[in-house]
Amino acid sequence: MDSKLKWKLFLLFFLFIVGMLAIVLIVNYDRLSARFSSYGQKSDPGQEDSIQTDKEGLSDFLNDDTFFDEDVSKDVSYTEGQNGLYDLLVTSVEKDLRIKIVDLLGEPVVGQEFYVTLQGEGLSSSDGAGAEYKDLDQDGIIYIGGLQAGEYYVSLNHADAGASNSRIRVAVRDKVEYTVINDISYLIKSEEDVDPSIEDTEEKGALAEADTTQITTPFLSEKTEFGIDVSKWNKEIDWQKVKESGVGYAIIRCGYRGSSSGYLIEDPLFQQNIKGATEAGIKVGLYFFTQAVSEVEAVEEASMAIALCDQYKLEYPIFIDSEGAGGNGRADYLDKDTRTSVCRAFCETIVNSGYSAGVYASKNWLLQNLLVSQLEGYAVWLAEYKAEATYSGDYHMWQYTSDGAIDGIEGRVDLNVSYLVSE
């Protein structure tokens, strides 16, 4: 073959490869730029990650004698795998580490054998140079619990490539802080991943307390605002018709924690509902059905709610729905102190993120299962199905029936009246 022809073919092949790389970079530009621009940036107040890195800024070396020490950890822990470079995202809520293995685009890496090596003074002496934790189900997530608070070093290893030479320095928290878990999305599941018949089992306590005097028509007044609350159980909704029916606001279920598994599960109609209500000009708030058994889990639930609504304007609070799950729920038999601390942790996390927070429960649930005096400062959403509420405590919204009818919604729907002053 003529040498000039060879060079022309080589040049064409080279240009083809460069062109393909350029297309990939253009398609993923936003994700790549967001991914790499985040390193070394300071988080907003109240949103700071638990990862503590050594690369806070170039000026750090002025006050740090170890700045150029080869043993100082990095804020990125890349390791070579069978399909490229991988990174770690690490958070701590309370005496634990949540480790997510991602690719360069921030996507979780699944179906591969990873393990991490953990080193730190908090490990037992029998762990020697470090303890290894494997991603047994190959979902790209490793959870390590029961750690002592303090400083640790984490390095990522790939089964095919061996150990990485770089590592991340992380701080394990001693006590839960009521701040959002920024990367909670990797814990959120859809109903396609679970069995909803055993996971979504909330029972309305107010139904057992209802009487025949309850009002089932819209409650309209100049001093209050009429609204509804909805979830997947209300099926497809015509939000424009709902608006025309006089509904001023809707409290929309964003998700729930599985009664059996404890998974965080998004309501399958949440995005559709909040988008439809917002576009129809209806004010919105959220509620989350809890089955949390600890403050840590409550922070997870609040973080999920915030993550799901971050692109929408909320004019009503984010409520924790604290009621029973039919007697078989993982949180059904919590004592008053624990259940109250769960509600408080949820609400504090919501408030610390700049939103309003509240607690939903029936009259008897408020009186028998919560220490309401420790929840002052949060909105109370009372469920009591009678002509007049008999709950003697303060409340800001009243769900007065679950047997309402609204044009645009098939079947029965919960009706509410709000005493909250809207700006």
pLDDT of residue 47: 35
Q: What whole-number distance in Å separates Cα of residue 358 and Cα of residue 286?
A: 10
Is there a single domain that holds both residue 117 and residue 201? no
Domain that holds residue 300: 184-418
Is there a single domain that holds both residue 219 and residue 159? no
Q: What whole-number distance in Å separates Cα of residue 132 and Cα of residue 122?
A: 14
What beta strand segments (E) does 199-329 contain? 225-230, 249-257, 264-266, 283-289, 318-321
Is 1 inside a domain boundary? no
Handedness of CA 200, 206, 212, 217 (dihedral sign): negative
Domain boundary among 117, 149, 172: 172
Q: What whole-number distance in Å separates Cα of residue 277 and Cα of residue 173?
A: 39
In terms of Cβ atoms closer than 10 Å to its own Cβ (0-12, 13-18, 19+), residue 115 is: middle
- Write out the H or E segment, with its range, that includes residue 117: strand 114-120
pLDDT of residue 223: 86
Is there a single domain that holds both residue 154 and residue 192? no
Is there a single domain that holds both residue 99 and residue 225? no
Q: What whole-number distance in Å separates Cα of residue 214 and Cα of residue 414?
A: 12
Instruction: For the chain, 423 residues long, give each residue's pLDDT as a single digit of tens.
Output: 566 666 766 677 777 776 666 665 554 554 444 444 333 332 333 333 332 333 333 333 333 333 333 333 333 344 444 445 777 888 888 888 888 888 877 778 888 888 888 988 777 655 556 888 998 888 888 889 889 999 998 988 876 655 455 678 888 988 888 999 988 988 999 999 999 999 999 999 899 889 889 999 998 788 899 999 999 999 999 999 999 999 999 999 999 999 999 999 999 999 999 999 999 999 999 999 999 999 999 999 999 999 999 999 999 999 999 999 988 899 999 999 999 999 999 999 999 999 999 999 999 999 999 999 999 999 999 999 999 999 999 999 999 999 999 999 999 999 999 999 644
Give the tokens for residue 337.
């102190």
Domain boundary among 124, 145, 172: 172
Q: Give the residues across from 153 on adjacent strands.
A: 119, 169
Contact yes or no for 408/237 (Cβ under 8 A):
yes
Place of tokens 């005493």: 419
Is there a single domain that holds both residue 125 and residue 217? no
Is there a single domain that holds both residue 101 and residue 238? no
Is there a single domain that holds both residue 326 and residue 413? yes
Is 303 inside a domain boundary? yes
Place of tokens 């809707």: 250
Q: Which of 203, 201, 202, 206 is nearest to 383 (CA)?
A: 206
DSSP state of 374: G
CATH number reported for the structural domain that contains residue 257 in this entry? 3.20.20.80
β-pairing verdict for 413-418 and 397-404: antiparallel
Is 267 inside a domain boundary? yes
Is there a single domain that holds both residue 138 and residue 203? no
Give the tokens for residue 421.
């002053």
Q: What whole-number distance in Å separates Cα of residue 304 and Cα of residue 281?
A: 24
CATH number reported for the structural domain that contains residue 94 in this entry? 2.60.40.10
Q: What is the pTM of this model?
A: 0.76
pLDDT of residue 321: 97
Taking phi over 0 as left and psi of -120 to 50 as alpha, with beta for the rest, 373 belongs to alpha
C-alpha distances (whole Å) from 111 to each of 104, 146, 419 are 17, 27, 51
Helix 295-309 × helix 336-352 angle, to 10°: 30
DSSP state of 182: T
Q: What whole-number distance in Å separates Cα of residue 78 and Cα of residue 70?
A: 16
Handedness of CA 225, 287, 321, 367 (dihedral sign): negative
Is there a single domain that holds both residue 194 and residue 168? no
Give the tokens for residue 245.
């029916």
Is 40 inside a domain boundary? no
- Neighbour-count burial for 242-257, b at 16+ CB within 10 Å, e otherwise: bbebebbbbbbbbbbb
Which residue type occupies 373?
S
Is 101 inside a domain boundary? yes
pLDDT of residue 80: 42
Give the tokens for residue 50.
């638990």
Is 24 inside a domain boundary? no
Which residue type occupies 188?
I
The total number of structural domains in the chain stands at 2
Is 59 inside a domain boundary? no
Is 291 inside a domain boundary? yes
**What number of other Cβ atoms are within 10 A of residue 241's Cβ?**
14
Is there a single domain that holds both residue 136 and residue 167? yes
Handedness of CA 361, 366, 370, 373 (dihedral sign): positive
pLDDT of residue 81: 43
Is there a single domain that holds both residue 243 and residue 127? no
C-alpha distances (whole Å) from 175 to each of 93, 147, 295, 345 are 8, 12, 10, 12
Is there a single domain that holds both residue 143 and residue 189? no
pLDDT of residue 32: 45
DSSP-derived secondary structure for 239-277: HHHHHHTT--EEEEEEEEE-TTT--EEE-TTHHHHHHHH
pLDDT of residue 23: 62
Domain boundary among 172, 205, 221: 172
pLDDT of residue 206: 92
pLDDT of residue 82: 43
Q: What whole-number distance in Å separates Cα of residue 165 and Cα of residue 183?
A: 25
